[in-house]
């Protein structure tokens, strides 16, 4: 687990709307500080700021060009991880469904036990990603306990037929359920490195200060135009943080595949219980 940083509460706990408002306000304050710094220096040294407009434009373009590149790179990382989580949900639903269907080839009581465990396990796999709180931790512990139970039941069920092809096929299916569950657990707890987010937030704050300093001699400091620019950059950063919170923000990983699977397995439960033994 990566070591925490001083901005981690912003990334992992603060509501997104509050984070956006707070950070946009910080950018405006830093920009205003840059304006006041320029005016303070200009009052003491009238020659300050006599650089050409072209030179100032090159400085601003270089600073915000690099900022746009870093934001774009970070956005691609967050989007790739979001897509990975979404794909793993579908993959896990398919693996559990296949294991459930193949467990119907077993004899009772192994068949009933395996299918009940798979139904319970599928229920715990709905939205285990996201901010790690007590509820998610309890759900994950239950899921891990069911995985151990599932493996023990599989071992007991295939032991009498371990030399047959059916045992091999069924064991492969259960292994896939366990493996994709582990991959999804790891992917759900993997976030953009906090050091990258720290650098990104500090960079945009410094860029806002430099922007205010360079435009300090303009009438009004072009406050409206620079405010729109800083708002757009802040909005992109909030989108990145939202993508990095797979279940706590507005952009959530769809759980439809697992939800539909759980509903299907629950409907099959009464029929499975009433099925006569072979």
Chain-wide mean pLDDT for the chain? 80
pLDDT tens digit sequence for 83-111: 998 899 999 999 999 999 888 888 888 88
Position 218 scores a pLDDT of 62
* Residues 6+ away with beta carbon under 8 Å from 148: none
Residue in 209, 244, 237, 226 with CA at minimum distance from that of residue 23: 237
pLDDT mean over 112-118: 89
145-154, 182-191, 227-236: the lowest-pLDDT one: 182-191
Position 2 scores a pLDDT of 47
129 pLDDT band, cuts 50/70/90, is low
Position 23 scores a pLDDT of 86
Contact 48, 214 (CB under 8 A): no
Position 1 scores a pLDDT of 41
Please state, in angstroms and as integers, the Cα–Cα distance from residue 164 to each residue in 103, 158, 278, following that order.
15, 9, 19
pTM equals 0.76
More confident site: 171 or 9: 171
Q: How many CB atoms lie within 10 A of CB 190?
A: 14
Helix, strand counts (H, E) of the chain: 9, 0
More confident site: 47 or 202: 202
Position 217 scores a pLDDT of 61
Q: How many CB atoms lie within 10 A of CB 43?
A: 9
């Amino acid at each position: 687990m990566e070591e925490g940083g001083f901005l981690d509460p912003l990334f992992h706990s603060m509501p997104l709307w509050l984070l956006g408002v707070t950070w946009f306000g910080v950018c405006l304050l830093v920009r205003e500080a840059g304006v006041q710094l320029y005016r303070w220096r200009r009052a003491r040294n009238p020659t300050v700021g006599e650089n050409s407009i072209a030179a100032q434009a090159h400085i601003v373009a270089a600073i915000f060009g690099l900022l746009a590149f870093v934001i774009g790179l970070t956005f691609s990382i967050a989007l790739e991880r979001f897509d990975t989580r979404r794909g793993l949900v579908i993959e896990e639903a398919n693996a559990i469904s296949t294991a459930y269907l193949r467990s119907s080839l077993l004899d009772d009581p192994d068949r009933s036990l395996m299918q009940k465990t798979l139904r319970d396990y599928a229920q715990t796999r709905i939205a285990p990603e996201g901010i790690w709180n007590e509820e998610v931790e309890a759900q994950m512990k239950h899921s891990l306990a069911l995985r151990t139970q599932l493996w023990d039941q599989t071992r007991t069920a295939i032991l009498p037929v371990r030399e047959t092809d059916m045992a091999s096929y069924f064991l492969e299916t259960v292994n896939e359920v366990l493996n994709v569950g582990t991959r999804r657990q790891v992917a759900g707890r993997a976030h953009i490195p906090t050091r990258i987010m720290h650098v990104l937030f500090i960079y945009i704050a410094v860029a806002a200060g430099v922007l205010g300093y360079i435009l300090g001699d303009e009438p009004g400091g072009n406050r409206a135009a620079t405010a729109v620019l800083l708002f757009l950059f802040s909005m992109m950063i909030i989108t990145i943080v939202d993508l990095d919170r797979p279940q706590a923000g507005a952009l959530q990983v769809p759980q439809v595949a697992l939800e539909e699977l759980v509903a299907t397995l629950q409907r099959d439960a009464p029929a499975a219980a009433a099925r006569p033994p072979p």
